[in-house]
Every structure is written in C-alpha cells, then in structure tokens.
Amino acid sequence: MREREMTAIIDFGAQYNQLIARRVREARVYCEVFAHDTPWEEIQARRPRAVILTGGPASVYAPGAPGVDAALFQAGVPVLGICYGMQLMAHRLGGAVTKGERGEYGGADLDLLETSELLAGLGPGERVWMSHGDLVREAPGGFRVLARTANAPVAAMADPTRRLYGVQFHPEVAHTPGGQRLLENFLYRIAGFRGDWTVSSFIEDSVRGVASQVGSGRAVAGLSGGVDSAVAAVLVARAIGDRLTCIFVDHGLLRDGEAEQVTRAFQGLEGLRLVAVDAADRFLEGLKGVTCAERKRRIIGELFIRVFEEEARKLGRVDFLVQGTIYPDVIESGRHGASLIKTHHNVGGLPEDLGLELVEPLRDLFKDEVRRVGAGLGLPAELTGRHPFPGPGLAVRVLGQVNRRRLDTLRAVDRIVTAEIREAGWYGRLWQVFPVLLPVRSVGVKGDRRTYGQVVAIRAVQSEDAMTADWARLPYELLDRIAHRVVNEVAETTRVVYDITPKPPATIEWE
C-alpha cells in the first residue's frame, strides 16, 4: 500500500483556520493541523509533502508573537504562507513587515504583476478577500512580487527556487472566488500531490488505525443518536467486530420520542451490540439549580463518563471508549491554539481521571465529511442526514435552570417546529433548526386574559461545516404558522422570536 500523502497545516490561532483544512480536503489531499509551536522534527516525522502557514491575530514583530521552527524554511518542503503566515515568512527571511496606514478588511482587486504557477488561471483584477492590519512592505531577497492590491504592495510573493510562497489574502474563504484554484495550484503544480484522499481511503486507513490502537482489547461506544456517534461506532465495529459494545444513555435531555427512535435504529444495524441505559433521574439531579452553560456541559460530560464506566464494568474488561468527536468540537473547545468558545462535553468536559482510553476516529473530520463517510459505510439516509444535535441535549437549549417541566415545554415546541419545517420542505435546506426556551417571561393576552408566559426563540441556520453559519431566510408564512401553533398549542408560552444572528459573532447553539 502506498504511503498516504499529507499536507501539514500550521495553525497560528485564527478561529477559522480550519477552513483551510476543508479546502485542502476538497482538493482530495489529506491534511493534519499542528499548533505553531510544534517542533519541526515532530511534523517532519509525519512526512508532509507540503506545509501551509495559516493566518492569525498577532503581529509578527510584537513581543511573544507566535512563530515557527526556523528549520522549516530550510527543509526543501513547499511552503505556502497565508496572511499572518506570509508575514511571518517575510519577517523571518529578511523582508519588511509593518503596520499598514489603514487596515484592509473585505474585498480587494488583485493586480497581477507576474505569471506564476501559484496564480495560474487567475485573471487580472481577480477579487480576493483581505483581513489584515499589518502588511509586507518589502519581500525578502530571492522572492518575486507576484501581485499587489491598492493597500498591499506585496499581495503575493514567491521564491520558486526554495519553493516558498505567500499570499496576503485568504484563498480559503468563499469571498475569494479563485481561492480553491490557487490552493490546488499549490498542491498539484508546486507540491506534486496525486489527490488520492477519498472517503474509501479514509475508511480503509481508519479501520486499520483503530484495529492497531485497540489491539486485542474491548471497547464501548457512546451512541447519542446523532450522525457522529453512529459513524464512529460503525467504523470501530468494522475494525474490531463483536469486541465493541454500543451504549446508549438516555439522559432525559432528548427530544420527544428520541430515545425510542435511537434504540430502534441502532438495534437494526447489523453487527452492533446495543445496551440502553435510562439515567434521566441522575442527570436531572446533577443539573438541579445549575444555570451556567459551562457548568452544565461539564456536569453532563462527567456524568456521561461515569455511566459509561459503570456499564463497562458490567461487561467485564473494557479498555477503550469510542466517541464521535469531530474537528469543530476540538476547535471550539480551545484546542490547536484557538481560543475557547464553549466546552464540548466530549472534549473539555471529560474528567481527568477517565478510566478508559479514547478512540476518536472522526476527530479530524468536518460534519459534511462525516456524512460522506457514513454513506460510504452504508448507514441509512435517515441517520446520515439528521440535523446535528448537541451532546448535552436540551440542557443547552433550556437556558437557565433545567427541570422536567421546562424540558417538556421545549419538547412540545420542538415537535411543532420540526413538523412545520418538514412540511414546508425546508428540512433538507437547513443545517439546523431548533427552538430555545429563554429564562425570561413576557406579558401576553390569551382569551381576553393577561398571561405571563415563556418566551421561545427559533434558530434556523444554513452552513457548510458549522464553523460559520448564516441565519436562514425562512418564508414569513412559515414563521407565522410556527408562531401561531406554538402560542396556541403550548399553554406555557406567550411569545416567539426569531434569531437572525450569523456565526460569527454568535454560535449556532445559544449555550
């Protein structure tokens, strides 16, 4: 078997640098993300065919600015610096990086100065997306300036002899129409990739990797009913067979009828052994009086693990816990040098004395990639096509205190929202849609009487990977039907509002 080709992406802390990884994989090239302070020897041991330096919020000339091992630029491996990555390359190799007279944020027209392998296929006046306050005033010796914009004298540069390249703009975002072509130029024309990373190759490699990690051991998998845990479980089952037992924990925080639906779906999957555990009382007791979202997530994460450990002991010797952790979970929980947005219960919420070794075969995948892997594994469309549902369940959609009454109210609203969205043909067009029960009350009038009831927010978003998202422009008629049904059929509610905040600045979930 041929060795897998790999691009190393070195992360300098910008929150959405994982978009670069997405674009690289869309080009059928495998990539891995490394923190900027990873020693070059460690990265080199992974035998990367190319390196991409990402953007970041720092200034390269500021004290303590993140850097990179100097050996990288002498290794002979093709390197592409993007935004901060290009500035770092210029700064380290003798160029001049300064603060711009004004920041450049948004669209800009690229003025091509020279033909090059990197910019092949890009036309004059190419529209690109800028987001920087510093700029490369002068390229290092040996570099050619390939392009500029009105505010950036060096918008692209290259030293073909050393195979070092840089762009000030962001090719990874949709606002740079030629960005994917540029990345593919770097990967194929310059670095010489074959482009052989596919769903089938990922499945093959993952099965082999899990088999090697688990060896002759036994594992339990946490099933939530979502696509991530389902795909992870089936992938591991393919690697170790009946030495995997799947455990579904009903924490009392699921939607109406979901526990029964999940149990039926997974019992029907060939080769999966399923144990269902009703732990609702235990989770609700642990959440009693807790209003802080971070505390909720950590409490739920620890209780999950404790339940798993107890069930695992009933099975005899078990060494591994399978989780459906995916890349956005890792990023938002503050890994790879990014700042903490929220703790995902399966990442930052895990207890320190975890008694099982983690198996996370999907840890480096985005949600859409997980769906494709699930289809490649033969999972039914009703599983792979489900909207994402948070591991902490409705606990992070019931804002404030979580109790049975408030959960039941939210479940009733959720039934209405989901039914209307499906009936209108919008379910497949949305990344997620769900109601949120707010910790406030509002005055209303029902039957000529004053009411003082619950407020529900509806959240519907469209996205490719959940790292950025835009609010969905649902038809007014659809929103009107949802609002009327909610306030008429759910007695506890008085008011329905619609969330029109994109991500960023908001996250998709409210907590």
Contact 11, 338 (CB under 8 A): yes
Bridge-partner residues for 219, per DSSP? 244, 320
Q: Give the orientation angle of helix 404-423 with respect to helix 476-489, to 10 degrees.
A: 150
Characterise 149 by phi-psi region: left (phi > 0), alpha (psi -120 to 50), beta (else). Answer: beta
The tally of CA atoms less than 13 A away on the side-chain side of residue 320 is: 25
Name the DSSP class of 238.
Answer: H
Listing DSSP states for 13-34 in one string gives S-TTTHHHHHHHHHTT--EEEE
Residue 166 to residue 185: CA distance in whole angstroms: 13
Listing DSSP states for 294-354 in one string gives HHHHHHHHHHHHHHHHHHHHHTS---EEE----HHHHHHTT-TTPPPS---TTTTTS-TT-
Residue 222 to residue 472: CA distance in whole angstroms: 32
A 10 A CB-CB count for 480 gives: 11
Residue 161 to residue 482: CA distance in whole angstroms: 62
Report, as residue numbers or ranges, the catalytic residues: 83, 170, 172
Q: Give the orientation angle of helix 367-376 with respect to helix 227-240, to 10 degrees.
A: 50
- 451 φ/ψ angles, rounded to the nearest 5 degrees: -125, 160
